[in-house]
Amino acid sequence: MQTLYSWEVLDPVVFESRGIITGEFVAIGVRDFRAAAAYVNRIPYGRTSNRDDLVTVLREARGTCSTKHALLNVLAQEQGIQTALVIGIYRMNGRNTPGIAPVLERYGLDSLPEAHCFLRYREKRVDVTQAETNPSEPISEFLYEEDISPGQIGDYKTSLHRHFLRQWMRETGATTRYSLDELWQIREVCIAALGVI
């Protein structure tokens, strides 16, 4: 099982140096790395107006797995804390992603490949988007994992995700029922069911 840990496994490294992201956290009274991750965990899950400007996670008080973890990865870089930003592909279903089961059922699907970002810290996968009282099953298996840079959470992540979706379509025979664009739209309906859009 490929465990995803909560922000609580991060060390409370007190901020020493300054950077743009560090300054934003200090301005809201957050002064160590674990506290920053806890703060980001409490921010509602949702897309920001500009995923390329990571500060919008704090200013708009929302973020996705990509923007939240990219923000913390840049913060870690500013502080000299060793983390990696990772993209993983997993089978999204109603058990590990509450709220999407009715959407998948409506389209006759059991699951869809989904891209999920998280941090790697001291060889542990850390997911700050997990709810503190998460009724879902944890993601138990990643089909693929890759370290990426914060600049790759946009077009690169989408391209990689669509590649895996195409591959899944061939393997499952979904090409006879849906086009890639149709499956991408079904995925967007799933995301909307989570309150992300």
**pLDDT(126) > 80:** yes
Q: Output 196 or 66, whichever has higher pLDDT.
A: 66
* Digit-coded pLDDT (tens) for 76-125: 999 999 999 999 999 999 998 888 999 999 999 999 999 999 999 999 99
Residue showing tokens 């592909």: 89
Instruction: Report DSSP state, residue 130.
Output: S
- What value, to the nearest 5°, has the Cα angle with vertex 117 and ends 15 and 48? 75
pLDDT at 132: 47
The stretches of the chain forming alpha helices (DSSP H) are: 20-27, 33-42, 56-59, 65-79, 101-106, 155-172, 180-193
**Secondary structure class of 39 (helix, strand, coil):** helix
> Which of these, 20, 13, 17, lies nearest to 58 by C-alpha position?
20
**pLDDT(196) > 60:** no
Which range has the worst mean pLDDT, 26-35, 42-51, 128-137?
128-137
Measured in whole angstroms, how far is the alpha carbon of residue 133 from the centre of its chain?
17
pLDDT at 99: 85
pTM of model > 0.85: yes
Give the mean pLDDT of 57-64.
Answer: 95
> Which of these, 65, 11, 15, lies nearest to 43 by C-alpha position?
65
